[in-house]
Amino acid sequence: MEAPLLPGGVIGILGGGQLGRMSALAARRMGYRVRTFDPSPAACAAAVADEHVDADWNDHEALARFAAGCGRVTLEFENIPPATVAFIAKSVPCHPSASVLAICQNRRREKEFLRDSGIPCADFTVVASLAELRGAVVKVGFPCVLKTADFGYDGKGQVKLPDAGADLAAAWATIGGGLGVLEAWVPFQMEISVLVARTVDGRAAVYDPAENVHRNHILHLSLSPARVPEATAAEACALALRIAEKIGLVGLLAVEMFVKDGRIVVNELAPRPHNSGHQTFDAHETSQFEQHVRAVCGLPLGGTRPLAPSAMVNLLGDLWRDGREPDWTRVLADPSAKLHLYDKGRAARGRKMGHVTVTAPTVEEAARRAEAIHAAL
C-alpha cells in the first residue's frame, strides 16, 4: 500500500489547462510543490506551477525528467496517451491509472465497461464503416447519435440522426470515417453530474448531483444542488460510487447522467476535475480540486457538504468583443459573485476563458443572478 504523500511533497500534473491550473492552486495552498507537463510552453497551469516541462507526450526523456522527484503524478484531462501514464507509473505512483484513462477516453471502451458492469446506459452498437452504420441504424432505431470513438468533448465528434431521412454518408464523414459508436437517443429532461473521489485504499466521498444546462453543446450553467427528487439524487450518488469502485478509481471522477421521470441513464465518465464542479471552489466544504489532491495523495478526504445553493456560469471567448476584455466590474458588483479567470491568453469563440460562481438562498435565485451577470457581460 502506498504511504500518503504529505504537504511539502511534489505533485506532478499531466496537462496544463485550466483544470490543471486550479488543481495546482489547491495543491500549493495545501503546501505542496507542483510540476506540470504539457506540449505547450504557454499552458495556463504553468504560470502557477513551481516547474513546467513542455515536451511531446511520447518524449520519454522529458517524462523521466518530469517524474524525477515527484511523489505523485496525476492528470487534468483525458486526451493523454495511456502509454504516457504507464511509463511514468514505472517510477512514481500515477493516479488515475493508465487502464482507467484508456476506458474513459474511448467511447467504445467506456460504453462496454458500463454495460458489462450493469450500469444503466443508452443502447449502442460499434460501427467501423458506412455499410455497418447503415445496418446499425436499423437495429438501434431513430432518433440516434453517431459519435467518434476517440477524443470527443463539448459536442465535438458527434452527429444526431433524427429520422430515416438523415444523410448517413455525411454523418460518417463528419466523425472522420474511423471507428464510431451509434447510441440510441435518450429523451432526457435534465442532465446531472456527480463527482466522486476515491483513495488507493478504497475510501470514497461523493458530492450531491449538479444540474447542467448546455448551449451549443458546451456547458453554460451548472446548478448545485440539482433540482431532482431526493430518491433520484441518492440513486445518482450510489451509481457514481459503484462506478468508481468497479473501474478501480484513485483520484476524482465526474459521472454525467441523463434523468427522465426519475430514471437515470449514465452518459459519460471523466477521470479528473470537471467543469460542472467548479462551484465547489466557493460553495462547498471542500473544492473538487482540493479533493482531487487529497485522493491522489492518499490523505483523508474532505467534506462534501454544500455551504449554500450555487450557480456556475462559464465565460467563453465570445465575450471578448473585438479583442477587448469584458468589464469585470459588472461581475464584481454582485457581492456574492466569485470571478475565476484562467489566464489562457487569446480568446476564441467557444473557448473556456473563466467562470463565475454565485451563491444565494435558493438555487433558483443563484441561477437568475448568474444569468444576469452573464447577460451584462
Nine-digit cell string for 55: 515536451
State the average pLDDT over residues 299-313: 98
Average pLDDT of the chain to the nearest whole number? 95
State the DSSP string of 1-49. Answer: -PPP--TTSEEEEE--SHHHHHHHHHHHHTT-EEEEE-S-TT-GGGGGS
The per-residue pLDDT for range 64-80, each reduced to its tens digit, is 999 999 999 999 999 99
Whether residue 2 is contained in a domain is answered as: no
- Is residue 134 a part of any domain in this protein? yes
| Same domain assignment for residues 206 and 171 | no
Shared domain for 368 and 314, answered yes or no, is yes
CATH number at residue 73: 3.40.50.20
Q: Please count the other Cβ atoms lying within 10 Å of the Cβ belonging to residue 94.
A: 26
> Whole-angstrom Cα distance, residue 59 to residue 80?
13
Same domain as 29, residue 127: no
pLDDT at 153: 60
**Percent residues over pLDDT 90 in the chain:** 92
pLDDT digits (tens, 9 = 90+) for 76-87: 999 999 999 999
Q: Are residues 232 and 156 in the same domain?
A: no
Query: Is the model's pLDDT at 17 over the cut of 60?
Result: yes
Whether residue 329 is found in the same domain as residue 247: yes
pLDDT reading at 235 higher than 70: yes
On the question of pLDDT at 154 being above 70, the answer is no
pLDDT at 93: 98
105-125: pLDDT as tens digits: 999 999 999 999 999 999 999
Same domain, 202 and 302: yes
Q: Is the pLDDT of residue 156 over 80?
A: no
Query: Do 132 and 40 share a domain, yes or no?
Result: no
Residue 100 covered by a domain: no
Model confidence at 273, in pLDDT bands (50, 70, 90)? very high
Residues 272 and 351 both lie in one domain: yes
With respect to residue 114, please indicate whether it lies within any of the assigned structural domains.
no
Domain range for 143 is 123-184
Q: How far apart are CA 127 and CA 104, in angstroms?
A: 19
Tell me what pLDDT residue 177 has. Answer: 74
Contact present, 270 and 292 (Cβ < 8 Å):
no
Cell numbers for 38, please give them: 504539457
Distance CA 228, CA 347 (A): 35
Neighbours of 327 (CB within 10 A): 11
* Start-to-end C-alpha separation, the chain: 50
Return the pLDDT at 322: 80
162 and 248, same structural domain?
no
The burial class, CB within 10 Å (0-12 / 13-18 / 19+), for 202 is exposed
Q: How far is CA 361 from the centre of its chain?
A: 27
Q: Domain tally for the chain? A: 3
Give the pLDDT of residue 43: 97
Looking at the fold, whether 46 and 172 belong to one and the same domain comes out as no
Give residue 1's pLDDT. Answer: 76
Examine residue 4 and state whether it is found in any structural domain, yes or no. no
Q: Which of 133, 149, 184 is the last residue of a domain?
A: 184
Q: The CATH number of the domain where 247 resides is what?
A: 3.30.470.20
Per-residue pLDDT reduced to its tens digit, 161-174: 999 999 999 999 98
Look up the CATH number of the domain holding residue 144: 3.30.1490.20
Domain match, 335 and 240 both:
yes
Give the pLDDT confidence of 308-344 residue by residue, as tens digits: 999 999 999 999 988 789 999 999 999 999 999 999 9
